[in-house]
Amino acid sequence: MLLFLVIAVASVWGTIEESRYTSQVDMTFGARLAQHRIYHAWWFTFWLIVLCVNLACVTFTRLPWKKRHTGFIVTHYGIITLLIGSMIGKHAGIEGSMNLRIGDPPENSLVLGEMVLHFLDYRGRIYRAPFPMDVSPPRENRPKILPLPHKQRRTAGAPFSRVGSRWFGRSPGEPSLVFNRYSEKLEREEDFAPAPGSHSTGVRLHMVSAMMGGQGMDVTLITEPADKSYHALAGLAQISLSDRIVRDFDAMETPSPLLQIRVTGPGEVEYHVINSRAEVREGELRVGESLETGWADWVVRLEEALPEAAWVDEIRENPALPTGGGLAGAYGWLDWGDGRRTEPQWFLLGDMQRVQLDENEVRFGFGFRRERLPFQVELIGFEVPRDEGTDNPANFTSYLRFTDPETGESVEGSCGMNVPALYPNAFHRLLTGFTYKFSQASWDPDDLEVSTVQVLRDPGWLFKWVGSLTVVAGVYMIFFMRSFRHRRPEDIIDDLRAGDNESDKTGKP
Amino acid sequence: MKIKTLFVMLTLLAGSALITSADIAELVPDHDYAELESLIIQQGGRKKPLLTFSREVLLTLSGRSSLNLEDKRVDSMAFIASIWINQRDWSEQPIINVESAEVKEALGLDMRKHRFAFRDIVGAETFQRLVAEMEETREVGGDEAMTEKQRKLNEVVARLNLFQSLQTGRAFAVIPHPSDPVGRWVSLGEAETYYTEQELVPLGLDWVMLHAAYHGEPISRNFTEASVAFRERQAALSPEVMLSGGLVRAELLYEKVPFFRLAWILCLLTTLAFGLTWKAGRKTGSAIGWSLALAALAAMTVGMALRVYISGRAPVTNMYETVIWVAFGAMLFAVIFEMRHRCRYYFLSAAPVATLMLILADSVPSILDPNIAPLTAVLRDNFWLTTHVLIVTISYAAFALAWGLGHYVLFRKIVGGPKAPENKFIHAYIYRAMQVGLLLLIAGVILGGVWANYSWGRFWGWDPKETWALIAILCYLFVLHGRLVGWWKGFGISVGSVVGFLSILMCWYGVNFILGAGLHSYGFGTGGTGYAIAFVVAELAFVAAALFRHYQAPPAGRRRVSEPNAAPAKNLAKAKA
């Protein structure tokens, strides 16, 4: 029995080692990665199962159970219940988030934390494959190869399958998508380029101020889209590019510094600049020429001016970006299996991609998996009360409306910090964990019409709660209740003390 | 902030309407501020007496609660009155704390000094470039992208901003919102946003009188009377949004009586009382020690009760509060255990631990921030906050107690060598303290799970704090199970209590200050990492030394595999022998 106990305890400690390791991973790779690698990995589940079996076995070693074993048994079965609850939750539950906006139509699409790739065949059928790029990225020497389910004759054995199932393996000679890199540090470099026939004009300026440390900055402006025709300098001054220069500033009491630019020809612009003392300067500028703005010591140099310009996108990896600071995308190509392949390129997460290879076109997109809720959700209000006299949020409350599409009935609810909304919240559903719980997850400080709620359905919750209570009760019994335990430290102390007293008595003459 | 603020700072440098005053006596005339202290001001998300405001502001600005200028001690109220009422130029006084050596070096400041004048910092040649660089880093990569130096610089910039808002009077939000109890208050200069000129005339007159009285001009009121008049006039502007008199009195009491300083002195005395009378004078020593310990507990209780009353929530929402709470818990457990066992070991372990923690809380305000500030939204649930956090942190107290006792055992081992007599009582005491801690920690963590399940949706999310709490639980479980199956006995438990506490330290301090990640985002902070690492290394060295002494010549019978249930019986047999 002792030997068995030692082995049992040793395997328990094996798990501790694992969890120590996990926490180190947690530190370096971030929670999601750690979850994928460790906590949701098959071997971690395996360890938990071994732990459960082990805990049960340990209790069997104490057969036949006596009253004093109660605490011990209660505790160990409590842990088992808790772990069973967590496994139920993990496999039968659902966890995702919804990004809702006030005024948007009711929504039932839930974004889950796992990435998938969707492929659209020429008949418009959608196929799905797991695509865990973020947590297990492909490498140059270990690319991720996804064969395409495109050839009719092979439909039966196609590795790519219809939505809802998975596919495995790869046959040579199949058209496939190949990815060998994944990055979350991508930048979409927007630059303008000559575009004959375009109705937009564009300029690129370089601004320097010795007072501000002499480090220059580039300002690129283009008239279309309109939001790209302005540049605000830390809220103090503005530069605008337009087809018309406004000169009527008489009405302004305190003019804000403004530089207006109009492209007059290739490499030529007309400018009009006003500073906070209402001094105006205007004239023409050619590429390479500089202009003193009269705003402190800022100098503007014209780098480029195009009368017909358009934006072009270029996706680049910038390793200097912090984690999560850039766009996410995978680097890969389409391989037709017969020696033909496309040029490698970055595919951004979330975008619908089209890849052309000779006469063939392949359409796919990847992103976070979505799941349909059996009801509709709509955001009808969002409030952020603040701490008095500050902008610090004191709470967040989303007001939600849930609609059952079958009956058409709707229910309103609200979720704030620490106060989730439940739907449908009939008692039997609540008990069996078929209720969806909506918790406030995040917000956008710049847009108070938008709120992100976390959605969770956890059929294992009752096991978790009962298990937890049992563990606490069991530990209490072991440690503190005389009748359920053989010897408490107090008893040892009392015995020791009794012994001391005896020896004192006997020791003294 | 950014470029805009830089411009403002430069303007402030260039030409200010403030009177420069070289003479400290003229800069800070002596007055009695007893009446002005209770003027209500809104700042940092709550309303507070001017005394609290002045303390917090000066602490943030200079890292100290009073200034020493040319050998004249200037307390926080004198400083605040001078910069607000006197409207003197303080930008040349060395009052802004720059503690980071890196930042001082980069700014070309005197490495030997800790506090500098606003002018010296802003006027430093490299200042603007460094700030612009920092802002750029932050713009591109967010707060995480900043280097340690930039973080420290950012703290300095925050102090400079605070100084400016004081110097310009913007910080003094004493004009109450006319109706909304949580509405934004404004400074005197902006008073007309809420009130008409007629409404403001009396207050304006009182302000002028206060000003005149401050300068000792011959008017009908002295400074105290003028303070009262101004305060009452301000309160009358919008009586329904003012703080209640009870809260103001509580807060003034809390600010004026240094309860926690008192507590550590009492704890230290408790230690001495028990320590010095260990061999001789046991009875008197115990009597004195007991009363001192109870007094320390009372001081902490009153201090925390006031804090709870002022803030309206459990006193465990930042590192400062948890450190005090753990000190309190250690003393509380000691008293409870002592009532049962009367062994003095508990006091002799808890009192030094509490002293250490309270001194720590008292002496590093830049790391352990004593200010009472509103909670982040996530924690605003008094029921869960109270149950979960109080229980988890008080379990730390029980472990701290075991840790202190463990030191005693290890110390004896180091001094006495492998043959040192083992005190089985202490082993049982440590065992007990660990059990209490473990039960509370398990209960607290599970309550946290229930809270998380309720409010975040998930029971367990492998958040760093959660994971480390689990690791701590497993560590102590390991120690206790090991004893149960007879891998080790008293000495092993003692080693476990010391090493196990390091896991608590990681969970408590490390997750918040070293990892600084996760959802348990209360009281994240920086600083002290070096000391913490030094502490851990010292502890491990201490344990290693004890282990070395223990294994020098292992006494027979150690590491003997035995029936778990028989182990205590054997102890008993030995004790009887």
Q: Who wins on pLDDT, B371 or A270?
A: A270
**Range with lowest mean pLDDT among A208-217, B57-66, B310-319:** A208-217
Domain that holds residue A478: 2-93+462-497
Residue A429 resides in a domain: yes
How far from B129 is each of A215, A441, B109, B134, CA to CA, in Å?
9, 38, 15, 9
What CA–CA distance (Å, rounded) separates B438 from B455?
A: 25
Residue-level pLDDT at A162:
44
Give helix B345-363 / helix B424-455 axis angle, nearest 10°. 50
B365 with B471, same domain: the answer is no
A196 with A284, same domain: the answer is yes
Residue A326 resides in a domain: no
B111 with B74, same domain: the answer is yes
Residue A28 resides in a domain: yes
What CA–CA distance (Å, rounded) separates B390 from B384?
A: 9
What CA–CA distance (Å, rounded) separates A142 from B498?
A: 46
A101 with A147, same domain: the answer is no
Question: Side-chain half-sphere of B82: how many Cα atoms within 13 Å?
Answer: 26
Give helix B464-484 / helix B490-505 axis angle, nearest 10°. 180
Q: Nearest-5° angle of CA A19, CA A24, CA A25?
A: 95
Q: Nearest-5° angle of CA B211, CA B214, CA B219?
A: 75
Residue B47 resides in a domain: yes
Pairing of strands A230-233, A237-241: antiparallel
Q: Does B464 touch chain A (CB under 8 A)?
A: yes
Residue A508 resides in a domain: no
Residue A174 resides in a domain: yes
| pLDDT range class, residue B11, cuts 50, 70, 90 | very low
Which B-chain residues 377-406 have CB contacts (< 8 A) with chain A?
377-378, 380-381, 384
Pairing of strands B88-89, B72-75: unpaired
Q: Chain A: nearest CA to B89, how far in angstroms?
A: 25
Q: Please report residues of A whose CB lies closer than 8 A to that of B44.
A: 390
Q: Who wins on pLDDT, B242 or A152?
A: B242
Interface test with B, best of A18, A23, A218, A236 (most B CBs within 10 A): A23
A211 with A307, same domain: the answer is yes
Residue-wise pLDDT for B95-117, tens only, equals 899 888 888 988 888 888 888 99
A350 with A234, same domain: the answer is no
Q: Which of B246, B273, B288 is the last residue of a domain?
A: B246
Task: Supply φ then ψ for residue A213, to 5 degrees.
Answer: 100, 0
Tell me A322's DSSP state. P
| pLDDT range class, residue B440, cuts 50, 70, 90 | very high
Q: Does B312 touch chain A (CB under 8 A)?
A: no
Using CA atoms in the order B330, B333, B338, B341, what is the torsion angle rounded to 10 degrees? -120
Residue-level pLDDT at A150:
53
B428 contacts A236? CB cut-off 8 A: no
Using CA atoms in the order A188, A191, A193, A197, what is the torsion angle rounded to 10 degrees? 80
Residue A506 resides in a domain: no
- A496 → closest Cβ in B384, B439, B575: B575
- B378 → closest Cβ in A390, A417, A464: A417
Structure tokens that stand for B437 in this block: 């801690």
Q: Chain B: nearest CA to A43, how far in angstroms?
A: 16
Structure tokens that stand for B201 in this block: 């005339």
A214 with A309, same domain: the answer is yes
Which A-chain residues 284-343 have CB contacts (< 8 A) with chain B?
320-322, 325
- B142 → closest Cβ in A322, A468, A496: A322
Contact A371, A94 (CB under 8 A): yes
Q: Chain A: nearest CA to B284, how far in angstroms?
A: 22
Structure tokens that stand for A67 in this block: 């009253």
What CA–CA distance (Å, rounded) separates B448 from B28?
A: 51
pLDDT, averaged per 10 consecutive residues of chain A (509 residues), comes to 49 51 42 51 70 77 74 85 84 84 85 80 74 78 77 41 40 75 81 78 85 75 76 74 77 70 89 82 88 82 86 78 75 83 85 78 83 87 85 85 86 84 76 80 83 85 87 84 62 66 38
Q: What is the DSSP string of A247-278?
A: ---TT-SSPPPEEEEEEEETTEEEEEEE-TT-
Residue-wise pLDDT for B378-414, tens only, equals 777 777 778 888 899 899 999 999 999 888 888 888 8
Query: Residue B112 class from Cβ within 10 Å (0-12 exposed, 13-18 middle, 19+ buried)?
Result: exposed
What CA–CA distance (Å, rounded) separates B354 from B374?
A: 27
Kindly report the length of chain B: 577
Q: Please report residues of A whose CB lies closer than 8 A to that of B380.
A: 394-395, 417-418
B370 with B401, same domain: the answer is no
Structure tokens that stand for B574 in this block: 């030995």
Tell me A445's DSSP state. T
B37 with B66, same domain: the answer is yes
Closest by Cα among B165, B141, B154, B142 to B106: B154
A105 with A49, same domain: the answer is no
Interface test with B, best of A12, A86, A468 (most B CBs within 10 A): A468
A489 contacts B435? CB cut-off 8 A: yes
B307 with B396, same domain: the answer is no
pLDDT over 80 at B203, yes or no = yes
Q: Is the dihedral of CA A368, A371, A372, A374 positive or negative?
A: negative
Q: How many other C-beta atoms lie within 10 A of the C-beta of residue B351?
A: 30
Query: Mean pLDDT throughout B241-258?
Result: 89
A305 beta partners? A203
Residue-level pLDDT at B298:
94
| pLDDT range class, residue B562, cuts 50, 70, 90 | very low
Residue A247 resides in a domain: yes
Q: What is the DSSP string of B288-329?
A: HHHHHHHHHHHHHHHHHHHHHHHHTS-S-SSHHHHHHHHHHH
Q: Which of A326, A350, A367 is the last residue of a domain?
A: A367
Q: Is the dihedral of CA B558, B564, B570, B572 positive or negative?
A: positive
Residue-level pLDDT at B30:
83
A420 contacts B457? CB cut-off 8 A: yes
What CA–CA distance (Å, rounded) separates A375 from A393?
A: 31
A471 with A355, same domain: the answer is no
Residue B182 resides in a domain: no
Place of tokens 């890199």: A181
Residue A196 resides in a domain: yes
Residue B394 resides in a domain: yes
Residue-level pLDDT at B2:
41
pLDDT over 60 at B573, yes or no = no
B396 with B487, same domain: the answer is yes
Collapsing DSSP to helix, strand or coil, A308 comes out as strand
Structure tokens that stand for B557 in this block: 């019978």
Name, of A363-372, B293-302, B374-383, B526-535, the range with top average pLDDT: B293-302
Residue B382 resides in a domain: no
B556 with B486, same domain: the answer is yes
B520 with B556, same domain: the answer is yes
Contact B542, B410 (CB under 8 A): yes
B573 beta partners? none
A207 with A285, same domain: the answer is yes
A31 with A132, same domain: the answer is no
Closest by Cα among A275, A278, A281, A280 to A253: A278
pLDDT over 90 at B268, yes or no = yes
Closest by Cα among B437, B456, B439 to B503: B437
pTM: 0.74
Residue-level pLDDT at A208:
83
Number of separate domains in chain B: 4
Structure tokens that stand for A166 in this block: 């998975």
A245 with A361, same domain: the answer is no
B72 with B163, same domain: the answer is yes
B236 with B320, same domain: the answer is no
A75 with A126, same domain: the answer is no
Domain that holds residue B221: 188-246
Pairing of strands A126-130, A280-286: unpaired
Residue-level pLDDT at B400:
92
Q: Does B436 touch chain A (CB under 8 A)?
A: yes
Number of separate domains in chain A: 4
B2 contacts A26? CB cut-off 8 A: no
B234 with B361, same domain: the answer is no
Q: Who wins on pLDDT, A350 or B206?
A: B206
A292 with A242, same domain: the answer is yes
Structure tokens that stand for B566 in this block: 């028989």
Place of tokens 């906050």: B385
Residue-level pLDDT at A499:
60
Collapsing DSSP to helix, strand or coil, A472 comes out as helix
Contact B313, B325 (CB under 8 A): no
Closest by Cα among B401, B399, B403, B412 to B498: B403
What CA–CA distance (Å, rounded) separates B84 from A441?
A: 42
What CA–CA distance (Å, rounded) separates B100 from B111?
A: 9
Contact B216, B27 (CB under 8 A): no
Residue-level pLDDT at B305:
93
- B468 → closest Cβ in A23, A393, A488: A23
